[in-house]
Each structure stands twice: as structure tokens, then as C-alpha cells.
Amino acid sequence: MLIDITLKELNNGEARVVRIFKNAGETVKAGEALFELEANKSNITVESEAEGKICKIMVEESQSVKAGDVLARIEGPPCPQAAAAEDTADFNYFGTLLKPQEQELECDITIIGGGPGGYVAAIQAAKMGAKVILIEKDVLGGTCLNRGCIPTKSLVRSAEIFKNLKEAEDFGCQAENISVDIKNVIGRKNRVITQLVQGIEYILKKHDVRVIRGIGEIKDCNTVFVKEKAAEITIKTNNIIIATGSKSSSLPIPGKDLECVMDSSDALQMDELPEKMVIIGGGVIGMEFAFIFSGFGVDVTVVEFLDEVLAAFDSDIIEEISKIAKSKGIKIFTGSKVEQIIQGEDGQSIVVFSKDNEKKYISADKVLMAVGRQPSLDGLDVASLGLELNDKGRGIKVNEKMQTNIPNIYAIGDVTNRVLLAHVASHQGIVAVKNIIGVPSEIDYNVIPSAIFTDPEIAMVGIGEKAAKKQGIDVEVGKFPFAASGKALTMGESRGFVKIIKQKCTGKILGGAIIGPHATDLIAEIALAVKKGLTCEDVIETVHAHPTTAEAIHEAVLAAEGGAIHFVN
Ligand code: NAD
């Protein structure tokens, strides 16, 4: 059977062939590299999709190629009918090719899962001189790149552009006939993902990390097995890092499997915008999607079980974002427990929930379930390995070095169920690798910034006012509203504030929260202050550029020390 090796998807039009690894007449295995292409600052490796003999190489080095071009032709195993006919022959040439190829590999560290935990750990380990194998069953980049942080931010940006166009007149500009094409919004999001995934593939290759596509199974603490296409690979390894991430949770309620019910991954692949959407769960995912879809003109209702949305934040932040959500037409029901989803005769869904002992009903075209994520232990035989889990069996238990109860097996990221954030997973990956290599390292969970991409953004680091009170820490709070910031006013983004939490007796900055323009970028300054134990005086003495939104941090710190310059309480 002849198989054409075709260039699948390209981000930016064309690529250039920089290397051809095989000649016509040579044999090639499935997954073996055939070509290296240079495309938009990143290199792409084109692998053979089949095992066989190369009949023809269709391109030359330096040649430009585009998606859809045939790069090589391979004589592979016959199609099933032909193979059946071959069975009767005395000599079956292709029969030997169809047998699984057994391979044995050796390495220092095998990493299972190529998300922001796993791939960062792989790069870090390779940089420190280790021989690394990374196993990924899907696409590199994990939830963060493919179904989480990056795709949602691409949608957030599209919603922001749409908003800016609608508000153009306020800025003295004209924009007419504005509309959203969700197919193109999703298309752009996909192109951003492809570019980033290709970038990661390129970096891993440059660091000589062997990436194997398949499901990694831990046989014992020094053996991992993986099937990659026709190859059965046994890896003998000194250490293992489990980085298998998490998956969306669902409520065990009637109607949860109806067609209208989506999880966050489905919501990132829509080809049509619904008129009405109900979001179950007013946590981080629920609120980010509420602002995205409301920004595109969808009628959004959020139903949250707790008495507040984004319950981990201080109440002044929650009040502010709830007020802004209301002003944008987002309806929020708190203290409301969703109990059932019903499919109506007219195709509409009805979300049934109870609030104050009363049953309530809301209709919608689509229902987004955003009630949390759970560690993904699929394929890991935790029990027979003897891996200890956290209390209530949620996630793999690790110590501060990211080591499990089996000394040479480490776990990082969402699978540990500690803090489900991409930047935490990456940091945990670096900590695990350093400890494996013999450089003692621990993660400081007290200084983990969180960034929520609502409109406006919200960010927080260190201790909050609520938590400080609970822990009996005597604090003073300094606040500065963006309405008093020159830069924020020029941007037309004057909602929100910066809030600094100062320890009374030492003057040290223990935490901070921001709601407003650039909040998710600005939080880095407060994170550094908390991590380094800086006092308010240290920040006050640091000149902040004018006009920037960062001045609002300077002013909030001044407020905590007796009074801001550009605002009077
Ligand atoms: P979450 O735990 O933050 O929020 C889920 C919400 O659903 C909770 O507020 C919960 O009270 C509510 N809920 C549960 N059962 C309910 C019911 N029957 N009726 C109504 N409400 C109900 O989970 P999430 O928002 O799905 O996010 C999952 C994880 O992903 C989190 O750990 C989050 O930190 C992470 N994440 C982070 C970001 C970011 O940092 N920007 C973005 C996306 C996801």
C-alpha cells in the first residue's frame, strides 16, 4: 500500500525544508523523523505516519512548502484486504512489518504527561544534564495550552476587541456593522495553540528530550511501558515524574449527560453562539466564561452553590466583580444548588435549582458545567504500585520536594490536587527535577499569585484580609481606586482598585489583591514584595513610572502607610 506523507497544518502559510533525514530506498519506522521544516521562527519535525520503504522524496532542502503538500511517498503494509490475501501466500513480506516492534530504552527521568508541569520538568531536567523521556497521550501542552489558560485568553482577547469596537465612539472613533464570527474566533484560538505547541516541540527537540506518543503505564518504580503506534516500548528509568493533570468534574444530577450540557473544553470549540447560556458554578472557570460569552452578546446566568461567587477572594473584590457583572447583564444566583437539567420539547434546556428552599427554573440553549476539576489518575495503577493518595483519595500525596511515598517516583501539577494552576505545576516540575538531580528545592505555597481573566481582571497573592482575620494576624489595609489613576482613565478602564495587606507590627507586605486594568500583570510586583519580605517603605522608596497602572500599587502602599497622594478617603 502506498502512503503519502502530507504536510498537515501550518500556522503561517509557508515553511522551508531545512533537513531531510532519509533517502529514497531506505526503510522508516512509524513516528521516525523524516523532515525538519522552519516555519515562523519555530521548527517543525514531520514524522512518518507509517512503517515501510521510502519510494520517493518529493521535496528538496531549502524548498518552500505549504499545508497539503506531499513530502514523501512510502510503501507501507498492505490494506487489510490485501493482507488477508497475503496470509495464504507461502511468503508474507508485510506480515513481519505488522508485528509490534519491541524496543527497550534507558533514561534518568521518565515523565508521564506533557502539560505545563511535565514539559517544563523535561526541559529543566535536560538543561541540568539528565537523559529524559517524556510520554504524552495527546498533544503537548496539556490542559493549559490546549483546553485551558491559553485558549480562554484568546477568547478573552476576541471579546475585548469586540467591546472596544462597540465603544469606539467614546474614544472618538467610528466602527460600523460590528459582529462576532465565533468560527473565526475559534479558528484564531486554534492557530495560537498550534504555534505554541510547535514551539514546545521545537524546544524539547533542541534539548534532546525524546517524546513518545502513547499512554505511559508504570510497571514498577524503575519500569514504564508505552505503546507508540506499532512499537511496544519498555523504558528502564532511574526516576519517574507523574504529571498527568486533571479532568473536568461533573455534578451527579439527572440531565448531566444531555447534549446541551458542555464542559469547558466543549465551550472552547463552539461553532455557533447560543442565545442563552446557564453556567453552573461561579468559580474561576464559570466567571471567566460568563464574561467571555456575555462579551459576545450571549445572555448569561451563573448559578453558584455558595453564598458568593469566587469565594476564595475578599468580599470587597467579590462585591466589585458582582456589581460589574450585573452592569454587563450577567445574572448571578448565589446560595443556589443545581439539582437537575431537563430537555424541553422546544429543544431548550431547563436548569432546575433550589434557593432558599424554593425551586427555580431557568431555560437556556446551552449549559456550561464548571464545578471544579479532579486529578486524572487514568492509566495509573495506583493501588498495585502502592502509591499513597491524599485524604479522601483525591490526588497523589507528595512531600514538599514533590516526592511520593515511593522515593524515586515524583508527582507534580493538578494530579497532586494541591493548587490547580499551570504556573504551580511548572514550578513543582522544576522543584521535582532539582531534587532528583541532588539540588535541594521546595515550593513556597504562601506566595502563589492567582489571576482571573474576567473583565476587569482580578489577581491576588499572599494573605487576604479575610484569611488574616481568621488567623489572628494584625494587619492594616491600604486601598487605591483606579478611578483616581490617570493611566486607567485614559484607557477608559477606571473600575476596580488595588489593595495592600500590611502587617501592623513589622510594616511588611503580606499580601495584595487587584481588580482592574492589567491586574494579572501588576500582581507580580506584589508577589515579589511578599516573597522577599519587603516593607511598605521599600515599595514607597521605589520610583514607579508615570503614567502607568503600576502607580496604583505605589499609591495603595502609601495608603497603607498613612495616606495616598492622589486620593483622599
Ligand atoms: P472551582 O472550584 O473554582 O469552582 C466551582 C464552583 O462550582 C464552586 O464555586 C462551587 O461552589 C460550585 N458548585 C459546585 N456544585 C454546585 C451546584 N450543585 N450548583 C451550583 N454550583 C455548584 O472550579 P472551576 O471554576 O471549575 O475551576 C477548576 C480549577 O481550575 C480550579 O482549581 C481553578 O483554580 C483552575 N482554573 C484556574 C484558572 C485561572 O487561574 N485563571 C482558570 C481556569 C481554571
The whole-angstrom separation of Cα 429 and Cα 412 is: 6
Q: Contacts from 331-335 at CB under 8 Å and sequence distance 24+? A: 331/300, 331/301, 331/302, 332/282, 332/301, 332/302, 332/304, 333/301, 333/302, 333/303, 333/304, 333/360, 334/282, 334/304, 334/306, 334/307, 334/308, 334/309, 335/304, 335/305, 335/306, 335/307
End-to-end Cα, the chain, rounded Å: 79
The whole-angstrom separation of Cα 361 and Cα 340 is: 10
Closest CA to 263 of 155, 362, 370: 370
pLDDT at site 258: 96
The whole-angstrom separation of Cα 335 and Cα 135 is: 43
Q: What are the structural domain ranges in the chain?
A: 2-87, 103-247+375-437, 261-371, 450-560
Is 284 marked as a binding-site residue?
A: yes
Q: How far is the CA of 369 from the centre of ligand 1 (A)?
A: 9
281 lines ligand 1 (CB under 6 A): yes
The whole-angstrom separation of Cα 348 and Cα 365 is: 5
Which CATH number is 103-247+375-437's, of 3.40.190.10, 3.40.50.300, 3.40.470.10, 3.50.50.60? 3.50.50.60
The residue contributing the CA closest to ligand 1 atom 35 is 420
Type of residue at 406: I
Classify domain 450-560 at the CATH superfamily level: FAD/NAD-linked reductase, C-terminal dimerisation domain (3.30.390.30)
Mean pLDDT by 10 residues, the chain (569 residues): 82 78 82 78 77 88 85 74 43 57 96 98 98 97 97 98 98 97 97 96 97 97 95 97 96 96 96 97 98 98 98 97 98 98 91 97 97 92 95 93 98 97 98 98 96 98 96 97 98 98 98 98 98 98 98 98 94
- Grid cell listed for 72: 514523501
Report, as residue numbers or ranges, the catalytic residues.
Answer: 546
User: Residue 112 region, left (φ>0) first, then alpha (ψ -120 to 50), else beta?
Assistant: beta
The residue contributing the CA closest to ligand 1 atom 38 is 284
CB count within 10 Å of CB 538 equals 15
Closest CA to 321 of 501, 515, 466, 519: 515
**261-371 shares the fold of 103-247+375-437:** yes
Using CA atoms, how far residue 116 sits from 140, 201, 207, 219, in Å, is: 9, 13, 16, 24
Q: How far is the CA of 371 from the centre of ligand 1 (A)?
A: 5
pTM of the model: 0.84
The residue contributing the CA closest to ligand 1 atom 12 is 281
250 close to 273: Cβ distance less than 8 angstroms: no
Classify domain 261-371 at the CATH superfamily level: FAD/NAD(P)-binding domain (3.50.50.60)
CATH 2.40.50.100 fits 2-87, yes or no: yes
Cα dihedral sign for 515, 521, 523, 525? negative
338 lines ligand 1 (CB under 6 A): yes
- Atom number of ligand 1 nearest to Cα 414: 32
3-state helix, strand, coil in the chain (%, to 5): 30, 30, 40
Closest CA to 442 of 404, 403, 490, 476: 403
The whole-angstrom separation of Cα 246 and Cα 374 is: 5
Q: Residue 70 contacts by C-beta under 8 Å, 6 or more apart in sequence? A: 4, 5, 6, 58
Q: How far is the CA of 231 from the centre of ligand 1 (A)?
A: 40
Q: How far is the CA of 249 from the centre of ligand 1 (A)?
A: 9
Distance of CA 520 to the CA centre of its chain: 15
421 lines ligand 1 (CB under 6 A): yes
- Grid cell listed for 390: 491524599
The whole-angstrom separation of Cα 453 and Cα 518 is: 10
Q: Is 348 exposed, middle or buried (0-12, 13-18, 19+ CB in 10 A)?
A: middle
- Alpha-carbon dihedral angle through residues 55, 60, 65, 71, given to the nearest 10 degrees: 10
CB count within 10 Å of CB 115 equals 31
3-state secondary structure 304-316: CCCCCCCCCCCHH
